[in-house]
Amino acid sequence: MNDEIDYRFNWVGLIIKIVIFIVLILLAIWVVSMTFNKGKKESNFDDNFEKFNSAALNYFESDNLPTEENEKITLTLDAMIKKGIIDELLDQDGKACDKSNSYVEALKKDGYYEITAKLICGEDEKITKNKINEEQSENKDNEDNNTDNNGNTTDTNDSNNESNSTTNNSANKVTYYEYVKVNKKYTPWQLKKISGDNVESKTDTMSISNYCKVKDVEYYSTGYVTKNSPTNITYTVKLLDIPNSANNVKILGKKYFNNDLSYYEAYKNSSNLSMVGVDDKYKVQIPELYTYRAASLKSNNFSFTVSNLRKSSNYYTVDITVNIRNKYNVTPYYSNNLKAYVYFVPLYFYGQYTDMNSCIEDTNENATAYTSYKIYNTHKEKVTVYRSYSLEKDYNDVKWSSASSLDGYVKTGNTELR
- State the average pLDDT over residues 324-348: 94
Distances (CA, A) of 248 to 310, 319, 374: 12, 18, 10
Q: Calculate the average pLDDT of the chain.
A: 84
pLDDT band, very low/low/confident/very high, at 260 (cuts 50, 70, 90): very high
What's the whole-model pTM score?
A: 0.53
- Residue 109 near residue 70, CB atoms below 8 Å: yes
Please list, residue by residue across 177-196, b when 16 or more beta carbons sit within 10 angstroms of its beta carbon and e when fewer do: bbbbbbeeeebebbbeeeee
Q: What is the pLDDT of residues 139-162, one digit of tens each?
A: 554 544 444 444 444 444 454 555
Q: Residue type for 115, please? A: I
Which of 30-39, 87-96, 102-111, 300-309 is predicted with the least confidence, judged by mean pLDDT? Answer: 30-39
Q: What is the pLDDT of residues 23-59, one digit of tens each?
A: 888 887 877 666 555 555 567 888 889 889 888 888 8
Query: Which residues on neighbouring strands pair with residue 398, listed in sequence order?
Result: 180
Using alpha carbons only, give the angle 120, 122, 123 rounded to the nearest 5 degrees: 90
- Residue 290 near residue 284, CB atoms below 8 Å: no
Position 221 scores a pLDDT of 92
Percent of the chain with pLDDT over 70: 83
Q: Residue type for 32, please? A: V
Distances (CA, A) of 371 to 90, 348, 375, 380: 42, 26, 10, 21
User: CA 65 to CA 370: how far, in whole Å?
Assistant: 34
User: CA 55 to CA 73: how far, in whole Å?
Assistant: 15
**DSSP 3-state percent helix, strand, coil across the chain (nearest 5):** 25, 45, 35
pLDDT band, very low/low/confident/very high, at 206 (cuts 50, 70, 90): very high
- State the average pLDDT over residues 192-217: 93
- State the average pLDDT over residues 215-244: 93
Please list, residue by residue across 227-245, b when 16 or more beta carbons sit within 10 angstroms of its beta carbon and e when fewer do: eebeeebeeebbbebbeee
- Residue 74 near residue 103, CB atoms below 8 Å: yes
- Phi then psi for residue 414, to 5 deg, are -85, 135
